[in-house]
Amino acid sequence: MPTTDPLVGFKDCDAAILVGARPRGPGMERADLLQANAKIFKAQGQALDQVAKKTVKVLVVGNPCNTNALIASHNAPSIPKKNFCGMTRLDQTRAMSQISARTGAAVENIENIIIWGNHSATQYPDTFHATVNGKSLRQTVNDDAYLNGPFISKVAKRGAEIISVMKKSSAASAAAAACEHMHDWWFGNQMGGWVSMAVISEKEHYGIAPGVCYSFPCNVTDGEWTIVEGL
């Protein structure tokens, strides 16, 4: 049922995709949106806390998504922190698309590209554990200068590039990534190997303090994500 009342919209929901943020405009960084959007995600977190199922899976798409996911979670103390994610799947698909164009390999044959960190220009798209057709991505591309420079910059700044050309944000590709993220969160990793998810961990991983919403490589089984260890 369409509604503008979050207490109606979130009532007993199993999944919530939070896209209701002020969009970026030309020349804006995601951080510029923080003040306006903090109020939005505070209210949405409080509404989820009141009326959603405690098992609800909440995916935050609205930017800055890592911070907004943390704000929403903070305002929904009765829902486990593991049930809130920020979306870095869009960055992962952008990275896979670049490698597909570079190598001619089908996207479904590119696996384990990792997005570490924040869905912003500071993220790190990691190809050191990735494969193309089962072989090392780094060896297949065979161009470290490209992988360590233009590749990373293109993934991290692709959103701004689209805004510059189209004068609006990349809604369609973000929607596709949101569908892929939620699909894998429910049913397990389907394509691309590890799934990049910005999650709030209860313990330290890779030197990242607990309680920070940070994108890690994850595996998903029976609707539960776990961070890939030992890389």
Active site amino acids = 119
What's at 85, amino acid-wise?
Answer: C
| C-beta separation of 215 from 196 below 8 A | yes
What's at 163, amino acid-wise?
Answer: I
- E strands within the chain? 15-18, 57-60, 84-86, 110-111, 114-116, 124-126, 131-132, 135-136, 195-200, 213-221, 224-227
Q: What is the 3-state secondary structure (H, E, C) of 33-89?
A: HHHHHHHHHHHHHHHHHHHCCCCCEEEECCCCHHHHHHHHHHCCCCCCHHHEEECCH
How far apart CA 138 and CA 144 sit, in angstroms, is 7
Name the token pair of 151. Answer: 């590749």
Half-sphere exposure of 186 (CA within 13 A, CB side): 12
| C-beta separation of 24 from 33 below 8 A | yes
| C-beta separation of 6 from 50 below 8 A | no
